[in-house]
A and B are shown apart, each in its own frame.
With several copies, the nearest count.
Chain A
Amino acid sequence: MMAQGVRYVVEVDGSRREVAIGADGSVGIGGRSLAASLVEAGRDGGCSLILDGVSVPLFARSAGRGQWEIAVDGRAVDVQVLEAREAEIRERAAKAGGAAGVEPLRAPMPGLVVRVAAREGEVVQPGTAILIVEAMKMENELRAVAAARVARILVAPGDAVDKAQVLAEFEAVEGS
């Protein structure tokens, strides 16, 4: 691990920020270094963040790798966190594809993965079934919305998924 620790790219409400967390645990943001402490408090994702002395009670829910739903003062926001190098790779891949990238497939509701209908590497067309998810006693077919190559399928049958969890990632297909 580098001396300056790990850099993350965080997207909140469409705006991106870089946050550095030192191997020693320090937090850097916007050119400043802050003293931070984040611990679980309570029993349901309640957390206490103390940032340069300022106490912020918040509630955090994981919505899959790199995806968090965080509520402060009753305002719940979806936040995406990527390590800086992951973010770079994605960006480069998106540029290489000549497009802004293809949106990943997210669970529209909490449920249970029943079946995986597509394979990694497969090129799918709009409407191709990717996954079947059971929710509220109903099976729901989740389909591709654009032509793309299935880069990764992140879940397997039997997995419980949260709302907005990323289930599959795509790569742009040339010419699409």
Chain B
Amino acid sequence: MIESVLVANRGEIALRVIRGAKEMGIRTIAVFSEADRTSPHVLHADEAYPIGPARASESYLVQERLLDVARLSGAEAVHPGYGFLAERGDFAEAVAQAGLIFVGPSAGTIRAMGDKTEARRRMAAAGVPVVPGTDAPLASAGEARRAAEAVGLPVVLKAAAGGGGKGMRVVRRVKEARGAFEAAAREAKAAFGDDSVYVERFLERPRHIEIQIFGDEHGSAVHLFERECSIQRRHQKLIEEAPSPLLEPEERRRMGKAAVSAARAVDYTGAGTVEFLYAAGEFFFLEMNTRLQVEHPVTEMVTGLDLVEWQFRVAAGEPLPLRQDGIRMRGHAIECRITSESPFDGFLPATGTVGEMVIPGGPGVRWDGGIAGGSEIGLHYDPLLGKLIAWAPDRARAIRRMERALAELRIGGVATSAPLLQRIMGERDFRAGRLSTAYLAEHQALFDAGGGPGDDEVLAVAAALLEHERRRSRAAPRIARGSMPLSAWQRALAGGPGTGDVDLQ
């Protein structure tokens, strides 16, 4: 087995990998930027080394510095987490050249899947359904126009080097093609340093369903069923679940088979995700992510497997721990991404110092976080503070459990997405499983701030009591512990009048 690992990441995923490694007896080596000196991933690792300033381009993205730490600490392997260097072929290559184990697929696979048109070609060749479109980058606006007509409107122009919604433009009328091509190419150039753009048919209100796959060095590949991640905002997933609420067993089987074909087509090793768009019984390959996914915990909760453990085992050259027929799903799991964003304020990034945290507990609830009391939430990194995951025997129960857990969750000092997620859990279409990537756009009422008149009355009473207590105590605005007992109830219990006069001791 691997004896030590450098975790080339930060935040919740670094902590997740450290937890998994610790449980396997692997020595854990963290790295941290100046902004992360006191982060949980630093505190919980066996060793920790500074790698530069807060700005990721001067720390977490500096390959050489990470390799220096690996050398200095005697790390045997490097786990990239997700984001940062996780899908950079050159990093995987540099790690291998330094004689270290890269916990992920080969550099060649990463590169092939990172080039979206190349990925489309290889998937189509392997018999995996792809969205109709062009297989090569477009040479000009004119070619974009002809391709759009050939594929059939509406279409979407996408950056070949892309991902995350950047360099994407929907074209609904032929005359929009030129402007869209130019805008997409510009954005792609700016975001990825590559202005290649291709065309795909645009699916209206599709669902985002992805299959978790695993391959090993011995030629085996399996899938760990699907995750549905249709609740997105601008291509950023908010809520993920497993299994998909409305997929038929036969569809599940076909998609799993297609994903395994995709894995085999690129001799895949390690953990990967094959993303599909699903609409009206058809599914199409969207892209393949060659790393652990943010939403991997829902798969862990329904399969009972530890995906980080599997990653280490495969990276160590072991065969996959289970065959396809040994992998089973039980119950239903939902994940909510808790981000430092103000959902009722245009998803404005929120900053602050984390105060008191109340982490939900009890049955079926899991918290994967990367922050602690005192953590500074700035704008240097991704706004993901942590993930709340609920498991239950069925979807209805999982939703109610998530509602209960969200109500318990408290992250002091910084605004989070939790109140919006709470509302979604109670929304009728979500509860019925009527999901699509257009869900949020079609449920704008969720974003309305404000509550009912009853709430205002409670707020008024609370404020009056607070102000009264402050003026009475003439002290700092703190509320005395136990300052107002409930003797009215005590009297009522003793048989006195129920309401009316109230005397407090």
A and B touch in the complex (CB under 8 A): yes
- Chain A 43-81 against B: per-residue CB contact (8 Å), 1 yes, 0 no? 111111111111111111010001010101111110111
Q: Are B466 and A38 in contact (CB under 8 A)?
A: yes
Q: Are B462 and A56 in contact (CB under 8 A)?
A: yes
Q: Are A48 and B451 in contact (CB under 8 A)?
A: no
Q: Are B38 and A40 in contact (CB under 8 A)?
A: yes
Q: Are A12 and B456 in contact (CB under 8 A)?
A: yes
Chain B residue numbers with a CB within 8 Å of A68 are 462-463, 466-467
Q: Check: B373 CB closer than 8 A to any chain A CB.
A: yes
Q: Check: A117 CB closer than 8 A to any chain B CB.
A: no
- Chain A 75-97 against B: per-residue CB contact (8 Å), 1 yes, 0 no? 11101110000000000000000
Q: Are B464 and A39 in contact (CB under 8 A)?
A: no
Q: Are B462 and A58 in contact (CB under 8 A)?
A: yes
Residues of A in contact with B, size category: 35 or more
Q: Which of A19-27, A99-107, A119-127, A153-161 contacts B (4 or more CB under 8 A)?
A: A19-27
Chain A residue numbers with a CB within 8 Å of B49 are 53
Q: A37-B484, A56-B458 are in contact. Are A43 and B465 (CB under 8 A)?
A: no
Chain A residue numbers with a CB within 8 Å of B469 are 38
User: How far apart are the CA atoms of A41 and B412 in the complex, in Å?
Assistant: 13
Q: A38-B466, A43-B374 are in contact. Are A51 and B481 (CB under 8 A)?
A: no
Closest-CB distance, A86 to chain B (whole angstroms): 11
Q: Are B470 and A62 in contact (CB under 8 A)?
A: yes
- Chain B 484-505 against A: per-residue CB contact (8 Å), 1 yes, 0 no? 1110110010000001111111
Residues of B in contact with A, size category: 35 or more
Q: A33-B500, A54-B46, A75-B450 are in contact. Are A27 and B410 (CB under 8 A)?
A: no
Closest-CB distance, A130 to chain B (whole angstroms): 24
Whose C-beta in chain B lies nearest to the C-beta of A76? B415
**Contact residues of A: prevailing secondary structure:** strand
Q: Check: A10 CB closer than 8 A to any chain B CB.
A: yes
Q: Are B48 and A50 in contact (CB under 8 A)?
A: yes
Which one, B358, B456, B457, B462, contacts A38 given CB within 8 A? B462
Q: Are A27 and B461 in contact (CB under 8 A)?
A: yes
Q: Which of A25, A30, A53, A72 has the most CB of B within 10 A?
A: A53
Closest-CB distance, A57 to chain B (whole angstroms): 5
Q: A47-B462, A49-B465, A66-B467 are in contact. Are A42 and B450 (CB under 8 A)?
A: no
Q: Are B468 and A30 in contact (CB under 8 A)?
A: no
Q: Are B358 and A47 in contact (CB under 8 A)?
A: no
Q: Check: B280 CB closer than 8 A to any chain A CB.
A: no
Q: A39-B37, A39-B483 are in contact. Are A81 and B464 (CB under 8 A)?
A: yes
User: How far apart are the CA atoms of A6 and B464 in the complex, in Å?
Assistant: 10
Closest-CB distance, B348 to chain A (whole angstroms): 13
Q: Are A77 and B373 in contact (CB under 8 A)?
A: no
Chain B residue numbers with a CB within 8 Å of A39 are 37-38, 479-484
Which one, A21, A55, A73, contacts B465 given CB within 8 A? A21
Closest-CB distance, A96 to chain B (whole angstroms): 26
Q: Are A48 and B502 in contact (CB under 8 A)?
A: no
Q: Are B38 and A17 in contact (CB under 8 A)?
A: no
Closest-CB distance, A157 to chain B (whole angstroms): 20
Q: Check: A137 CB closer than 8 A to any chain B CB.
A: no
Q: Are A77 and B503 in contact (CB under 8 A)?
A: no
Q: Are B355 and A44 in contact (CB under 8 A)?
A: yes
Q: Check: B460 CB closer than 8 A to any chain A CB.
A: yes
Q: Are A44 and B458 in contact (CB under 8 A)?
A: no
Chain A residue numbers with a CB within 8 Å of B503 are 22, 24-26
User: How far apart are the CA atoms of A169 and B344 in the complex, in Å?
Assistant: 30
B interface, CB within 8 angstroms of A: 29-30, 37-38, 42-50, 72-73, 344, 355-356, 358, 372-374, 407, 410, 412-413, 415-416, 418-419, 422, 449-451, 455-470, 477-486, 488-489, 492, 499-505
Q: List 17 A-B contacts (CB under 8 A).
A: A22-B502, A25-B484, A30-B457, A35-B486, A35-B499, A37-B37, A38-B479, A38-B483, A40-B481, A42-B373, A53-B29, A53-B49, A70-B463, A74-B419, A79-B459, A79-B460, A81-B463
A interface, CB within 8 angstroms of B: 6, 8, 10, 12-13, 15, 17, 19, 21-22, 24-27, 29-30, 32-60, 62, 66, 68, 70, 72-77, 79-81
Which 8 A-B residue pairings sit nearest by Cβ, starting from the closest? A25-B504, A74-B419, A26-B502, A35-B488, A62-B477, A19-B464, A41-B38, A44-B355
